[in-house]
Structures are given as structure tokens and as C-alpha cells.
Structure 1
């Protein structure tokens, strides 16, 4: 009888997904992708990796320029901040259109990340290309892995 009221066949969440989805809707400011992540919708998204030489932080900031990002380090905390302007803003600051749904982040943002010990923060480099800012934090020389040569000793 009421089958016509549902126009789209939307699959039902499986397992406990329905509960997570419900919690995200009830408490959107605390919704997190996993136990160690920041709330969903945090901007910009960040990847962190480590090599033998450095720690690398990748900041995904599509639509921004290098001038719109500020990267700073203080007390072993890396902070990336800036401002993302709203698209289609008129001369008086009024939006040129009415949005019914907006998922793209706009406004001021700031993300902070605690850094591990042993980095040479004075040699930090940041490069921006194609909407990705790569921050390279080299390790101090004394903390880099070293190969020790094993010498054969002649038997006497």
C-alpha cells in the first residue's frame, strides 16, 4: 500500500553501521571515522608518514594556494592554519547563489599535530603543489639508523 511513497531503494546499513550512522546524525560534532581520528569533516585532511630520514606530513588543501596556508612549529607541535573563502561571493559579501547543501569546508581552519621527539625542526621544509602541502621534518643525525660494518677477524 505505501510502497509508492519510497521512491529510491536505499540499502539498509548492515551490522552496527546503523547505530554509528544514527549516532553521527544525533551528535555530528563528535562523529569520528575511527578511534584515533579527528571528527568527520575536519579540514584539512592530513596524512603522516615516517622514513629513516624524516617524518613527512601531507596536508590536503584542494582549492587553496601556498599563500593561503600557514605552517608553524612551537613546543614540538606542528600547526597548519589558514582561511578558505566561500566561492561565488558578490561585491557586498553576499552569496551570489543559494546553496541547498554545502559539503565543502569554508572559513578559517587550524589543525595541530604533536610531533615525535628527535626531529630537527630548524631544517623543516614545506612545499605546496597541486593542492597538497608536504611538510618534511628531518630526523636529527644521531637518531638516524646507522649500518655497522662487521669485520672478519682472522683466527690465529
Structure 2
């Protein structure tokens, strides 16, 4: 009776992909969870934090080494770029592999981030450890909070 409403089957993962897409659309109206979110698939992921002394940017680049990343600052914009190779490269003589799903990003990438005013970019430092690149951007001395001593009158 309802056979005409049933879709034809195009593969074993069609239902899972359809459900994932439906859930993504339901929970991320317009493709982003909030106005500060980046588009799905952006690489590498970045966290930014601030203290009284500096702004710290954490770049999550698992599987890369320090030499695979390039960090630059120009016109108050921090740019992280590089290239990520495939983990399992295709070799000669190997049968052509068909990937049903590929979630790990590979290829060239670049992420840019506008920096707040008042940073001393000449003293910026970058450290790489365990797949995380930390970029330290100290604030200029005149913009750091300072304590004013109160004297008795």
C-alpha cells in the first residue's frame, strides 16, 4: 500500500548518513552552533584565551610536527598554515581503494584570526608540544592592568 513512499536503497550507510545530516540540521540551524562557531570541517581547531599579561592561541594540530606549521602575523591578523599528508598513503601496486567516509582532513590548510589591539607582536612566541601549538602574544606594558597603591590621608 505504501510502497511508492519508500525510497530505493543506495548502500548500507544511506540511513546512517541521512540520520546524521538530519541531526546536524536540527541542532545547528544555519550550519553553526553559535555565532562564533566556524564552519564544519575547519582545520585546525583553535582556542583563544586572555590573561592580564597576554593573549594565548592554541592550535590543535594532531599528527603534525612543528615543521609542518607556519605561524605569521601581519596587520594584526594571525595566520596558521601548513599541509597535512594522508596517514595511509596509497602505494603503487595497491588496488584502488574506495573510502566510504573520510573525516580526517588532509591537504593544505590556512586559518586566520583577527587579533585585538594592544598586543606586542614583536615579542610573540610559538611552542609546539603533543600536537598543540601555543602562540603567546604578550600585551604591551602600557595596556597591562597596574595596581595603584592607596596611601592614608
Residues of 1 paired with 2:121 and 2:33: CA distance?
A: 30
Cα distance, 1:38 vs. partner?
A: 1.3
Paired residue total: 134
Task: Tell me the alpha carbon deviations over residues 46-95 of structure 1, each in whole angstroms, 9 at most, x when there is no partner.
Answer: 00000000000000000000000000000000000000001221455x89
Change (3 A) 1:66 1:146: same
Give the structure-2-normalised TM-score: 0.78
8 Å contact from structure 1 (residues 81, 108) kept in 2: yes
Please show how residues 132-147 of structure 1 align to structure 2 within 5 Å: 132-147=132-147
Please show how residues 5-154 of structure 1 align to structure 2 within 5 Å: 21=25, 31-91=31-91, 97-153=97-153
Give the structure-1-normalised TM-score: 0.76
Residues of 1 paired with 2:45 and 2:108: CA distance?
A: 14
Residues of 2 paired with 1:53 and 1:104: CA distance?
A: 35
8 Å contact from structure 1 (residues 77, 114) kept in 2: yes
Change (3 A) 1:144 1:97: same
**3-state SS, counterpart of residue 86 of structure 1:** coil
Cα distance, 1:96 vs. partner?
A: 7.4
Which residue number corresponds to residue 6 of structure 1? none
Task: Tell me the alpha carbon deviations over residues 84-129 of structure 1, each in whole angstroms, 9 at most, x when there is no partner.
Answer: 001221455x897432211011111000000000000000000000
Change (3 A) 1:23 1:95: farther
Residues of 2 paired with 1:64 and 1:95: CA distance?
A: 27
List runs of 5+ in structure 2 lacking aligned partners: 3-15
Cα distance, 1:40 vs. partner?
A: 1.2
Task: Tell me the alpha carbon deviations over residues 127-146 of structure 1, each in whole angstroms, 9 at most, x when there is no partner.
Answer: 00000000000000000000
